[in-house]
Amino acid sequence: MFFKRRKKTASNDSKAETQTSVESDSQPANAQNNRSGSIEQGLSKTRRGFFTKLAGLVNVRQLDDDAFDELEDTLISSDAGVDASLRMIENLRAEARTKKIDSTEELLELLARETMKIMNIAEQPWQINAKPYVCVVVGVNGVGKTTTTAKIAAHLQAGGSKVMLAAADTFRAAAVEQLQQWGTRLNIPVITQGTGSDAAAVAHDAVTAAKARDIDVLLIDTAGRLHTQNELMEQLSKIMRVLSKQNENYPHEVLQVLDAGTGQNALSQVEHFQKATAVSSLALTKLDGSAKGGVAIALTQKFGLPIRFIGVGEQINDLKPFTTRAYVEALFGVESVEASSPSK
């Protein structure tokens, strides 16, 4: 496989800047609204930053040690992470010893190839191989967790799955109401209890209901919490214990929602949540509002967890299933092309 520079259209990068948000975290978007963003649009800020800085490096001088140091800084500043950036730069230095790199496009192609090597592990099939498949959704305050949970439900429903939601964020009355609104809009049942009730009891009742109603996937939305809030983290651990008593395989998945704009703090969040919940997959939101879309690289380099979805806008269809190729193409503005077979 090799890469070529993506042909730019007049609207590619401008759409991301002019699209108007019609959904807040507390007001579901119309499921029929087709003003959906794309991964390319969502990563346009990061891509433009890469291209501008890389163009300066290549145009001013041939790539030397100082230029590679600047390139390393560029990767780190986009939140690709120190470890991943060092790995990519080391490989690029080796390439430059045997091959002259004299264009921005060529440098982007090489970066794309190195990123693919790191990111391939992040694209893993979501094997929903149990019924009900129980997925607990976790994350800190403000990452768009409840909205993301509902968007995942809509995605699964569109694929033919029978989905149920559970409002285990009993800490906030607004969170329960928000999930109920989504359930009504999507015609998906929502299991709730009163504000302040035991979140673990909600999860328990939801599993019982999911079994009784022949549900394929149960998504349990939990309270947003800082990893430093010991009481709430213990509540999360209790949910896990209660679920595992119902079935030793519950939950089948713990999906952590992360705000891409928080940068390297996202790595710290995963570390802390893994201690309480054994996080097994990730979803990245708000990539459209960040110029640091490289955080997915840092997360993959450090944890090697599957990234299920990335959020590139406010609409219900703006939560996209993660694919490595689409991410890399959008990040660096290149297209991947299968090498043609040699002529006989």
Q: Give helix 295-303 / helix 104-119 axis angle, nearest 10°.
A: 40
pTM for the model stands at: 0.82
Cα–Cα nearest to 319, from 42, 19, 86: 42
- Decide if 286 contacts 45 (C-beta within 8 A): no
Pairing of strands 217-222, 253-259: unpaired
Write out the chain's pLDDT in tens, 344 residues: 444 545 444 344 433 333 323 233 334 444 434 334 566 665 655 556 555 666 556 554 566 777 788 888 888 877 888 999 899 889 888 887 777 776 667 777 888 888 899 999 999 999 999 999 999 999 998 899 999 999 999 999 999 999 999 999 988 778 899 999 999 999 999 999 977 889 999 999 999 999 999 999 999 999 887 766 777 788 899 999 999 999 999 999 999 999 988 888 999 999 989 888 899 999 999 887 655 668 899 999 999 999 999 988 888 988 999 999 888 887 777 775 332 333 33
- Decide if 81 contacts 264 (C-beta within 8 A): yes
